[in-house]
Amino acid sequence: MSHPEVRTNWTRAEVAEIYNLPFLDLVFRAAQVHRKFHQSDEVQVCTLLSIKTGGCTEDCKYCSQSAHYKTGLQAHKLVAKEEVVTKAREAKDNGASRFCMGAAWREIRDNKDFDRILEMVREVNGMGLEVCCTLGMLTEEQAHKLKQAGLHAYNHNLDTSESHYANVITTRTYQDRLNTIENVRKAGITVCCGGILGLGESKDDRIDLLKTLSNLSPHPESVPINALVPIEGTPLHGQSTVDNFEFVRSIATARILMPTSMVRLSAGRLEMSKETQALCFLAGANSIFGGEKLLTTPNPASDSDAELFSSLGLRPREAFKSAQSEAANG
């Protein structure tokens, strides 16, 4: 780790102490860390595209795409490369610097679909966008192929604490997730790894998740914090939503624990006020998903985000900028 203040040996007691600070002190501390390592008026805009939708064999209790639940989602096989290129161009024109392609797979298989995805990665990378994929579990060899094609980041979330995991997903283990993250690292691809709040977890679970994430070495370059988007037909529909202050606490704690990472205010913004989102930015969130759709659910429209950026004096961050280069610039 290049900066001496970046630690990967946080104890549970330390993480809990930060998380439980008086709210305004926590946000203030996070804002200070944020200003030391990042340009506070810059927010990265990422765009998502579901390239293979629904019919997933996993039983994630929050997900619209699991074949285990009747969610009414229209499934779709892998889309054509041309469609991806068109969407990536649109995203870039709308100010996105990162483009993330998601597939409802348990794991990548070595077949024609994977070859087509490698071509998509090559093309989108050639457009000057940071390309990210989220395709389920993968082997080290598959990670190397993605890296060779120009993949910049791989998203693979831990979602919640290890002890709450089996209450949410039974078709894979926490260790499966950690193994994939390790394979991504070995191939030299940056890691995007975070979680979802509102899965019926306790505060202790949120603290445990933040401890696990911040003790990955090196830290994930990008840490998405999602609020559960409730999906009718899934077991977690009807779950009480996470308190906004608890959400902001998680963002602030992530910022303090992982100072150089991008912390992404991810799913769930549609249900959040502009003021809550502003608090998230103050607490160190410096990335969002832009565009009218996440993977299968709606997201704030581009013009309302443009208005939010304008009200707060924020601007979209350019592609391939690292926290290190910012620190070097002052």
CA distance 176 to 166: 12
Cα angle, residue 76 at apex, residues 70 and 77 outer, rounded to 5°: 130
Binding mask 83-122 for ligand DTB (x = CB under 6 A): -----------------x-x--------------------
**Per CB under 6 A, 63 contacts ligand SF4:** yes
Backbone angles phi, psi at 290, to 5 degrees: -110, 170
**Per CB under 6 A, 223 contacts ligand SAM:** no
Residue 283 tokens, joined: 């607490």
**Residue 66 binding partner per list ligand SAM, ligand SF4, ligand DTB, none, with a CB distance cut-off of 5 to 8 Å that depends on partner kind:** ligand SF4
Q: Output the smallest distance, CB 263 to ligand DTB, in A.
A: 12
- Identify the residue among 52, 58, 194, 214 touching ligand SF4 (CB under 6 A): 58
Q: Residues near 2 by Cβ (< 8 Å), separated by ≥ 6? A: 324
CA distance 254 to 194: 10
Half-sphere exposure of 51 toward its Cβ, with a 13 Å CA cutoff?
30
Q: Give CA torsion, residues 155, 260, 284, 154, to 10 deg.
A: -10
Q: How far is residue 242 from each of residues 41, 238, 313, measured CA to CA in Å?
A: 27, 12, 28
- Tallying the residues shown for the chain, one arrives at 330
Number of amino acids touching ligand SAM (CB under 6 A): 18
Cβ proximity to ligand SAM, 37 vs 289, nearer residue:
289
Q: Output the smallest distance, CB 202 to ligand DTB, in A.
A: 21
| Residues that bind ligand DTB in the complex, under the rule CB under 6 A | 48, 64, 100, 102, 134, 155, 157, 194, 224, 226, 229, 266-267, 294-297
| Residues that bind ligand SF4 in the complex, under the rule CB under 6 A | 56, 58, 60, 63, 65-66, 104, 106, 136
| Residues that bind ligand SAM in the complex, under the rule CB under 6 A | 62-63, 65, 102, 104-105, 134, 136, 156-157, 159, 196, 226, 228-229, 231, 267, 295
